[in-house]
Structure formats: C-alpha cells, structure tokens
Structure 1
Amino acid sequence: MIGTRGVPAAYGGFETAVEEVGRRLVERGHAVTVYTRGSDQREREYLGMRVVHLPALRQKQLETLSHTGLSALHAITRKAPDAAFVFNAANSPFVPLLRGRGIPVALHMDGLEWKRSKWGARGRAYYRWAEEFGVRSADALIADAPGIADYYTEEFGVPTELIRYGAPILEGAPVDGIRALDLNPGAYHLVVARFEPENHVLEIVEGYRASRATAPLVVVGSAPYAAEYTQRIRAAADGDPRIRLLGGVFDQDLLDALYVHARTYVHGHSVGGTNPSLLRAMGAGTAVIAWDVNFNRETLGELGWFFESASEAERHFTSLEDDSTQVPVLSAAVRARAEEFFRWDDVATAYEKLAARIASGNSVHPVARRARRAGTTA
C-alpha cells in the first residue's frame, strides 16, 4: 500500500482505510506492506503489517509525491508483490514504474482533488492531468462513492471499482474527556474538519452565531496552509462564548468521545467522496446536519438535515434547539445505516477480491489506456 502517510492511522480517510483493510488482510493470511512517512512510531510492524518508513520533502506540493516516488523505487528493487494499491490520483506518475516491474496496480482516485481551493492554478491543473494519466495507466481504478464512480464513467468512459469506506461503530465512550472541556453529553454541536473553504466551516460558524442556539458549537480542526481562511473563522467566532475552537484533537479516545456525546455533528464537506468524518459520526449514532451535495446524501441516505448557506445552517440550529423527537430518531437511524452499509469487513473483502483479480491478469488497462476526457479527441 503506497501513497499515504501510512500507519498508525492518525490523519485522514486514506490512512484509516490502509489500517483497517491492511489489518484484516493480515488476519486472512496475506502479507501486507505499508509505506509510511512522518510517523512518531518507528516500529517495522504494526497490527501484523510490515511497515517501511521512508522520508518526504516537507513542502506542501511535494510531500506526497516525493514519498511516493521513494516508495515506488523501494518496491521495484525488492521482491515484487502480487499487487499494489496506490492511493491518490496525484501519485499516478509512479504507476507505470510499478507496472514496468510486473506489479499490477489498483489506483484509488480520491475525490476530485482538483476542485479544492487550497491548490493554486498550477496545482489544480496538475491534479486534472494526473487524474487522466491515472485512468490511462492503472490496472484498476477505485472510487469510494457512487458519485465518483459516475464521474469516471461519464468523463472517461472507463469502469471503476466502487469500494466505500467503513464506519467505526462506537458503542459508547467515557465522559471524562468532554467534562474536562466543560461540555455535557448531548448538549453541544460538533464540527470536525480541516479549515478549507470547501469544508464550509466559516458558513457553519456564521450560521450558528446568528442562531438562538444555547448548546455550544465545538469546532475541531485547523489548516496549516490556510492562514487567511482560519483567521476569517476566528473573526466570525470572536466574542461569542458559545463557540469553542479547539484546534486539532489528536487523542483518538477524546475524539471518539466528542462524536459519541454530541447532540449533532455538522458536516460542511462539499468535495470528495464518502467522508470518514461523516462515517465516524454515523457509527457513533450522532444525528447529522450536512452540506447539501450528492456525496453526503448518498452516504446518509437522506437521513439528515441539509444546508447550502449560513442562513440555512442558522435555521437548523434554531429549529433543533427545542427539538425533543427528531434528534434521537435520526441518531438511531444513521447508526443502523452505518452498521448495515459501511462495514470494514466488507471493504476488506472488496480489496482482497480486487487484488486477486489484478494479480491474475485482469486489467482495465487495454481499454482505458487511450481514454480521454469527454469532449476531447484522441
């Protein structure tokens, strides 16, 4: 598994997928190697997975690419694995290197990264190019949401493997951690997101501030590359004691407790596929207020309140202030949906079957290698 920060998972969706899938493949008798960067732990094995630690350039545009390049070089100079999973379409330039060594590659395409505002014009252009290059290079393409799969079908006319993330099912969590933050169970709204415009943290904070809610708004997150946007969020929250900006929370037990004991989880993400933060809230049995985009509706199955502006968020915060019926009903419903449709065991089985298929020679490459974006000519 190549192209992520690796294990232990402490960052995002890719890393969680690598850990959850990798550990299950090991339990099923497979040998799994995970390439890792930046981990405080230097052990060569984690949950049965072999861990290879390699460096990366600590620069926004080059960190992922530099580490993946070193990982690919390391992989091709050792005994070839039966299959490789490369995560992030940006890493597609290294797919031919692996395939040239006879290693079949499934490329996880992520969620239309070129739409993210954190990248400048050149960064977005690169992601669009890398996306197309990945389509033409890999043996299989993984999409983590129906909307992403539809995009590749419509844009390139190539099939993808729809493999969604799993949801951690949280049976409960101690209240000590949230009590220490002066919070009460069931009496606060929670946001967990990087501070980036497409995650709409600013609109959530503005909407909440305009509401008559008394349950605090607890915001977990930060953004190392978005100082101006972060300042706008802080300015919107300034002077309102109901709004609590906690910054990053890296204690996973505390983060679980924040999800489990929240009244609602407010999800502003608008770019990407099936989002791990949303799944974590669903697995915790926490009712959701979500940005109105197809990815979120697909994940929730319409079991939530949706908004597209600060004013719509304000209406939800205000209407839920006195609600005593809808919140527990939707809390139970999203948890049941997570248990039924987002099981890590099922995700691991899908990865296992895909690895077996590409290892046996099954590949979309003969069909996809001449693919072009819709509207362009070969």
Structure 2
Amino acid sequence: MIGTRGVPARYGGFETAIEEIGARLVAAGHDVRVYCRGAESRLPEHKGMRLVHLPAVRHKTLETLSHTALSVAHLLRSPTDVALVFNAANAPLLPLIRMARIPVATHVDGLEWKRAKWNGTGQRYYLMAERLAVRWSRELIADADAIQDYYQKRYHAPSVMIPYGAPIQEGCDQELLSEAGYKAGGFHLVVARFEPENHVDLIVEGYLRSRATLPLIVVGSAPYAEEYSRRIATLAAGDERVKLVGGVWDQDLLDAMYAGCASYLHGHSVGGTNPSLLRAMGAGAPVVAFDVVFNHEVLGGSGAFFADAGQVADAIEAVEAAPEAARDRGDRGRERARKHYTWDDVAARYERLCLDLKAAR
C-alpha cells in the first residue's frame, strides 16, 4: 500500500482505510506492507502489517510524490504480488511498477484538481495525473458512484467502486465528554481540515447569523493554508459561542464528540465518500451537509443540506428547535452506515480485487 502517510492512522481517510483494510487482509492470511512517512515513532509493524518508513520533502506540492518515489524504489527491490497506490497524483510513477510486472490498482480519490490550494500549475498537474492513472493502472478504484461516473464520462474508463467503512457507535461516552468540558447534546460540531473546499468559513459565518444557543466546536487546522485559517480565526473572534479547538488526536474523545453533538456540520465538497461524514453517521450524529452529489449519495435521506450561510443558520436553528427530529435523522444515518458502509465488506472487496489482479498477472 503506497502513497499515504501510512499507519497508525492519525491524519485522514486514506490512512484510516489502510489501517482498517490492511488489518483485515492480515487476518485473512495475507502479507501486507505499508509505506509510511512522518511517523513520530517508527514502528516496524502495526496490526500485523509490515511498515516501511521513508522520508519526504516537506512541501505541499512535493511531499506526496517525493515519498511515493522512494517507496516505489524500495518496492522494485522488494517485489510483491499486487500494489495498491493511493492518490492519482502518484500516477507518473506507475510505469516503474508496471515495468517490474507488478499489477497495480490506483485509488483515484476525489476531484483533487478542484481544490483551491492548487494554483493553475497544480490543477493542470492533477488533471494530467488523472489521465495517466487511467492509462497506466490495471484497475482504478473509486470510492463513490459519482467518482465512478466522472471517470466513465470524462475518460471512458471503467473503475471498481469500493467505498470507505463507518465505525458504528451505539452510544456516547458522556463521562469522557464531561472530562473534556462538553455535554452530550450541548454543542454543534465541525471536523475538517481548514481548506476552502471544506467550507469551514461558510459554516462559521452561517452559525454567526443564527440565533443558536449551543456553542459551535470547530476541530481541525491546516499545515499549508495560513491565510484561510486566519479568515476562520477572524470570524470566530467576533463571537464567544465559536470555539476553535485545533486538532483532537484522542480518538476516543473524538468518537464521543461525534456521538454527543447536537448536529455535525459537514462542508466537504470535492471528495467522494468522505470518512469524516461516515464517522459522524456511524455515531448517530444529525448531519447537515454541503449540497453536492457526493454527500447526497452517502447520506441518502438521512441528512439536511446547505448551500450558503443563510441555509446554515436555518439548519442550526431547526436542530435546536426540534432536537428529537434531528436525533431521528441521526439514527437513520447510523442505520444507513451499518447497512452500506462496513469495513468488513470493504476489506472483502479489496481482497477480491487483489486476488483478481494476481490471477491476471
């Protein structure tokens, strides 16, 4: 598994997927190797997966590709039956894997070229990388039907649709919440990296327009978006109801926050199946999401939606006016996650894909 920060998972959706899928593949009897970067402790193994730690250039446009290049160089000296490459940005390195006669599947992620952090050159690179991933991957992996449709329509390229899984929580650890200063049902929640396409500023602006009495807890930050982060901080500074708490790395506490929030506000707009959204659904959080096809696909009929600050304000006020109705939506979201987004099913589909790739080698 190549192209991410690796495991233990502490950063994003790719890393969580690798941890959940990789551990299950190990349990099924497979040898799994994960390439890692930036780990505080360089563990040789995690949940049965063998970890290879390699450096990377600390720059937003070079970090992923530089680390993947070193990972591929290591891979060529230590062959494997199948390589799973995460992120289409790594596509220029696929020919090297193919030259080694290693079948490769590329998880293309979302529409990365639409992210505001990339300038014209970055956008052109990601569009080129999409084309190269189509050309040089034995299989493409899409994590949503809408991403699958995009590659079919734009490139006439088939793909395998495998979503992420959702951890299911039946209740909330209220004691843990209380220790951290929160009360179950007593706050609205945002969990997101501070990037324009995640619309954290829009959510904060909408909240400020509302007559909400419950505070808005904003979990997240961004390593390369200082100007955008300052905008969010400036908005929040005008109202003591908004609490910017930075990253929450205690996963048990974060689980309790998802399960205990009055509403979870999800502004992501350019990804496919978003892991943070699934985590909120699995916890039974009432979700208010940005109005894009990806979020509609995941939530089905269990979500409320917004497209501007006024609609954010309306949605928050509606949650506070009718908390039982909001909780009912959250319960329906959890049942949808339980039915459609299980890690056991996701891992089984990855196992089937890898066995097919090996058989066709």
Give the TM-score band, short-chain normalised: over 0.9
Structure-to-structure mapping, 1:114-153, within 5 angstroms: 114-153=113-152
Structure-to-structure mapping, 1:161-172, within 5 angstroms: 161-172=160-171
Aligned-pair CA distance for 1:236: 1.2
CA contact (8 A) 2:266 2:290 kept: yes
Aligned-pair CA distance for 1:234: 1.2
Match of 1:293 in 2: 292
Amino acid at match of 2:326: V
Identity %: 55
Render the CA deviation track for 1:5-39: whole Å, top value 9, x for unaligned.
Answer: 00000111110111100000000000000001111
Q: CA RMSD in A?
A: 1.1
CA contact (8 A) 2:263 2:319 kept: no
Question: What is the CA–CA distance in structure 2 between the aligned matches of 1:320 and 1:312, rounded to whole Å?
Answer: 12
Amino acid at match of 2:87: N
> Is 1:40 aligned with 2:40?
yes
Match of 2:210 in 1: 211
Amino acid at match of 1:201: V
SS at 1:325's partner residue? helix
Render the CA deviation track for 1:258-288: whole Å, top value 9, x for unaligned.
Answer: 1111111100011110000000000101110
> Is 1:89 aligned with 2:88?
yes
Aligned-pair CA distance for 1:172: 3.2
Match of 1:69 in 2: 69
SS at 2:109's partner residue? coil
Render the CA deviation track for 1:38-87: whole Å, top value 9, x for unaligned.
Answer: 11121211100111111111111111111100000101112x21101000
Amino acid at match of 1:357: D
TM-score (norm 1): 0.94
Match of 1:19 in 2: 19
Match of 1:369 in 2: none
Question: What is the CA–CA distance in structure 1 between the aligned matches of 2:209 and 2:176, rounded to whole Å?
Answer: 28
Question: What is the CA–CA distance in structure 1 between the aligned matches of 2:34 and 2:171, rounded to whole Å?
Answer: 30
Structure-to-structure mapping, 1:242-321, within 5 angstroms: 242-321=241-320
Aligned-pair CA distance for 1:343: 0.5
Render the CA deviation track for 1:280-300: whole Å, top value 9, x for unaligned.
Answer: 000101110000000000000
SS at 1:266's partner residue? strand
> Is 1:6 aligned with 2:20?
no
Match of 2:29 in 1: 29
Match of 2:348 in 1: 349
> Is 1:188 aligned with 2:210?
no
- Count, aligned residues: 361
Aligned-pair CA distance for 1:173: 4.1
Render the CA deviation track for 1:315-350: whole Å, top value 9, x for unaligned.
Answer: 111222221431121111001001000000110011
What are the ranges of 5 or more consecutive residues in structure 1 without an aligned counterpart? 363-378
Aligned-pair CA distance for 1:144: 0.3
Amino acid at match of 1:15: E
Q: Which has the higher contact order (CA 8 A, sep 6+)?
A: 1
Amino acid at match of 2:14: F
SS at 2:184's partner residue? coil
Question: What is the CA–CA distance in structure 2 between the aligned matches of 1:54 and 1:311, rounded to whole Å?
Answer: 46
CA contact (8 A) 2:262 2:319 kept: no
Aligned-pair CA distance for 1:124: 1.0
Structure-to-structure mapping, 1:88-107, within 5 angstroms: 88-107=87-106
Question: What is the CA–CA distance in structure 2 between the aligned matches of 1:188 and 1:48, rounded to whole Å?
Answer: 38
SS at 1:135's partner residue? helix
Aligned-pair CA distance for 1:237: 1.3
